[in-house]
Structure 1
């Protein structure tokens, strides 16, 4: 699906999100968070998931404990610590989403500059991609959630603005960039960066 406004731009560069778009990792977060909430007789639904997707870990954690009403029993920091222990064993099993490899390899073969802009921090990125290193090497550069230039997570545009600056000859004008995203916060981040085309699904 694409959100398009104004005249069709000449796209020269592409930025990819990662979780839920290139890698099937969102299910891990869902599984672990359902386990944690079950202790409090609460459920993890799509509306809560959508509010958390794309944000930095601590920002998403605050949303989680506050929206579910468990902040008096479980702090955002304690939630992250508990969740981390479970995720560490799941992330190395991450699979590519359908069509992800084909699209990345096609764009690279055509000489289209591509990069990754994700809210995942370095430790998680390395765990998630350890089975797919060759594919991610095709990215011109990678901007992670703990990058010094990323002061705020999505829907802040920080990660996309940093990504645009690091292309060869950058910064690249936002009207020349296409962002692939699957999360509402990521779509808003792209719009906030002035990138008015955001594709939410690749397959």
Structure 2
């Protein structure tokens, strides 16, 4: 059962922005050079991780003859081209603006770097300016471990001006690693998984599972309901 919350923490990739599709496109192109195939099983292990951690998982799983740093050089060259074109996912803009309007404290906790988020938000800077703060796990020295460790969510919570108890924070996530991290942080989590993501074993960890943020009802968590 959902309990009332006062603060909301958002993931970005695959939840607010349609970047997971671009990550797949970029990775497919790179691994094909080495005669490898990028599978959903590998992708699901990477999601939510710090950049270097995600690259190492890919290289280890597919036995690529390159280092994480070499992979990231190739990936970032493609990201620079593709990320500024990314679209918002359904329901994200409405929810963010609604929470901001009603003065619900909102923040971002992402596995991405500040550089990466800067590219992805090129067309959406006004919307992202509504967040009180960002935790960039790949850059932040306080984030010792990426998702599924709870670090980024606990740090995001502590940086709200009133430092709420983690139980008062709701996490919105698309990745299994993020769901596990939120649970470990003692926070409720709304999970919006990719349709290809196997859900067995994780629905019980998430407080609520949706197919899209358009289905989210804020009042289920004691937040102001939509007016329309």
Structure 1 partner of 2:167: 175
Where does structure 1 lack aligned partners over 5 or more consecutive residues? none
Give the whole-Å Cα distance in 2 for the aligned partners of 1:21 and 1:76: 25
Give the whole-Å Cα distance in 1 for the aligned partners of 2:54 and 2:3: 33
Answering whether residue 193 of structure 2 is matched by residue 199 of structure 1, we say no
Instruction: Report the alpha carbon displacement of residue 199 of structure 1 after superposing the two structures with TM.
Output: 0.8
CA RMSD of aligned residues (A): 1.1
- Equivalent positions of 1:1-203 (< 5 A) are 8-70=2-64, 73-145=65-137, 146-170=139-163, 172-195=164-187, 197-201=188-192, 202-203=213-214
Give the whole-Å Cα distance in 2 for the aligned partners of 1:189 and 1:82: 29
Of the two structures, which has the highest relative contact order with CA contacts closer than 8 Å and spacing of 6 or more? 1
Runs of 4+ in 1 over 4 A off after TM superposition: none
Q: Give me the TM-score of the superposition, normalised by structure 1.
A: 0.91
Where does structure 2 lack aligned partners over 5 or more consecutive residues? 193-212, 215-228
Instruction: Report the alpha carbon displacement of residue 25 of structure 1 after superposing the two structures with TM.
Output: 0.5
Q: Give me the TM-score of the superposition, normalised by structure 2.
A: 0.82
142-151 or 98-107: bigger deviation: 142-151
Assess if the C-alpha contact under 8 Å between 1:10 and 1:175 holds in 2.
no
Instruction: Report the alpha carbon displacement of residue 77 of structure 1 after superposing the two structures with TM.
Output: 1.5
Instruction: Report the alpha carbon displacement of residue 158 of structure 1 after superposing the two structures with TM.
Output: 1.0
Give the whole-Å Cα distance in 2 for the aligned partners of 1:173 and 1:186: 19
Instruction: Report the alpha carbon displacement of residue 41 of structure 1 after superposing the two structures with TM.
Output: 2.0
Number of aligned residue pairs: 193
